[in-house]
Structure 1
Amino acid sequence: MNVSIQDPRTVGPRIRMMMPHLTPLEARVVDTILGRRDFDGTTPLKSVAEDAGVSEAMVVKIVKKLGFDGFRHFRTALDDYNRLPTAELHQELSPDDSGREIAQKVFRTSIHALEETLSILDPESFERAADLIFHARQRDLYGIGGSAQIARDVAHKFLRIGIRTNVFDDAHMMLMSAALLGPDDVAIGFSHSGATSAVIEAIELARRRGARILVVTNYDTSPLAAIADVVLCSTAQGSPILGENAAARIAQLVILDAVFAAVAQRDLDAAEKNLAATMRAVTAKRRTT
């Protein structure tokens, strides 16, 4: 996925996606820069280097590794990003926060993740994902832990409109599933980090079997993304308490909500008919007052 920094909203996601590829020293320098409250479009390179305890050449090397042309390009882009209205949405929890303030911060963190995920969503990848799911003979979903919960939510959505899927959250079952896939099938891997071994191994096997690969992750440069035909990428800012997983999980659920709608649109009559049938099937399970 190519993230254009012409849109200031993509600057934060671009930096976060590259952080796993930095050395500990490089990551510390970036964290130091991002933590500066006084950073703006006039902040000197010398000041940044001194604050981070590295040379000016090292700072330039790091920002180029992040994908910027140089320090001035990085400084302007980051300043534009920091001045966005949504930049203030993400706030850390404090020991003195009231219940109301905690709720506001958690909600705002998720809103921030949704705004930024939408800004980096690649329309072509989105359409290809919907096509793969719609046309597939077999759709097998792989995920561990929290990612498995997302896979189950996706499977539930699609079953409502007659699109049948299988969810596997056990390493052995994933491999058995992948071994039976073929060119008419799609394997969908869910992994926040994109580095979950069990999911990667199953996806690699599915690919060798000729299946098409769709990946949902928070890092488009991850090992899992590298073996995918299509990548749908979420993005969320890290937090000591909230982490990035929770907000990214919300973003991934919304991405798949959109994919669900796009798949339904490809045969709207069938989707509406199946939705009505599945709703009728569970009506008896609802208690009336």
Structure 2
Amino acid sequence: MSIQSSIQALTDGYPPSMKRIAEVIIARPQAVLELTITELARLCETSETTLVRFARTLGFAGYAALKLQMAAELAAETAQLGAASSYGSDIAPTDTLAETVAKISGSELFGIRETAASLDLETLQKVIDAVAAAQRTVAFGVAASNMGARDLKEKLLRIGRVALGFTDAHDAVSSASLLGPRDVVIGFSHGGQTREVCELLRVARAGGATTVAITNVPDSPVTRDADLVLTTSVRETTFRSGAMASRIAQLTIVDYIFVGVARTTYEASVQALKTSRESLTRLRGDR
């Protein structure tokens, strides 16, 4: 995960002094390169010592190492997107249509790349194995996160798996309360705070089901009752282009799970897809 994406994922858990640093860097990442540690500390209304501690929360030995890596990160983003289309940059009312398209596509492309690069493949394999062996799989999310849940449910159904999806939280939680050790529940929550998804996983885990959280924030409430956690890596913006990217990143993880499960019974899955596609021939008007 990039420095900027890591900062966004950790911001809500920081104390006030570090949260100010995070907010400044998210809004103006170039400040890390342009300002001395003293100047940046003054801008963030904190101390140089706090800046060093902040750098260590991101895995760096100190502020100098953070600054060096940030320079490389910003240079790579500029080379790929151009200075006007930096990943995570917000959409402004003065942007042309071309600039808007570039910013959105750049955000989504980088979201997919960072998600793939930071994904824990061992955990992904465990999720695939659990779903492949499951008697039932329940997928649920709220608002935009429900799109990933619905897509996973529909894909699993097309290869003959028993999968359930819900749009109502009460239905989802009541269904999860009846699940057991042979079942899997997958909760989608970009910010990791969604109360309905947290409750779904808590209830499902209490019954013995395998619980999975798909989120952008590894250490968040939604992961507390998750046996397995898969993380996306996208950045939010004021205009919510980050929310658009989160949807794409979640759908990418859904595809990883779906293809992984399908490969466990390759021939049967291919035949199921062919049969389900042919069953719709008359509805499509094909001859």
TM-score by length of 1: 0.89
CA contact (8 A) 1:133 1:263 kept: yes
- Aligned position for 2:47: 55
The Cα of 1:243 is off from its aligned counterpart by 4.2
1:92-131 aligned at under 5 Å gives the runs 92-131=90-129
User: 1:123 and 1:255 mapped to 2: Cα distance?
Assistant: 11
- Aligned position for 1:20: 12
- Aligned position for 2:3: 11
1:237 corresponds, among 235, 238, 254, to 235
The Cα of 1:288 is off from its aligned counterpart by 4.7
2:279 corresponds, among 266, 269, 281, to 281
CA contact (8 A) 1:81 1:87 kept: no
The Cα of 1:43 is off from its aligned counterpart by 5.2
Amino acid in structure 2 at the alignment position of 1:81 = E
CA RMSD of aligned residues (A): 2.0
For the residue of structure 1 that corresponds to 2:181, the secondary structure is coil
CA contact (8 A) 2:107 2:242 kept: no
User: 1:31 and 1:131 mapped to 2: Cα distance?
Assistant: 39
Cα distance 1:171–1:226, how it changes in 2: closer, same or farther (>3 A)? same
Matched, 1:70 2:68: no
- Aligned position for 2:246: 248
The Cα of 1:73 is off from its aligned counterpart by 2.6
User: 1:251 and 1:275 mapped to 2: Cα distance?
Assistant: 24
Cα distance 1:77–1:53, how it changes in 2: closer, same or farther (>3 A)? same
1:28-57 C-alpha deviation (Å, 9 max, x unpaired): 2222234153533x9532222123222112
1:1-289 aligned at under 5 Å gives the runs 10-34=2-26, 35-37=28-30, 39-40=32-33, 44-85=36-77, 86=80, 88=82, 89-90=86-87, 91-288=89-286
User: 2:43 and 2:173 mapped to 1: Cα distance?
Assistant: 49
Aligned length: 280
The Cα of 1:149 is off from its aligned counterpart by 2.0
CA contact (8 A) 1:151 1:190 kept: yes
CA contact (8 A) 2:124 2:257 kept: yes
Which 5+ residue runs of structure 1 have no aligned equivalent?
A: 1-8
Cα distance 1:188–1:287, how it changes in 2: closer, same or farther (>3 A)? same
Cα distance 1:48–1:38, how it changes in 2: closer, same or farther (>3 A)? closer
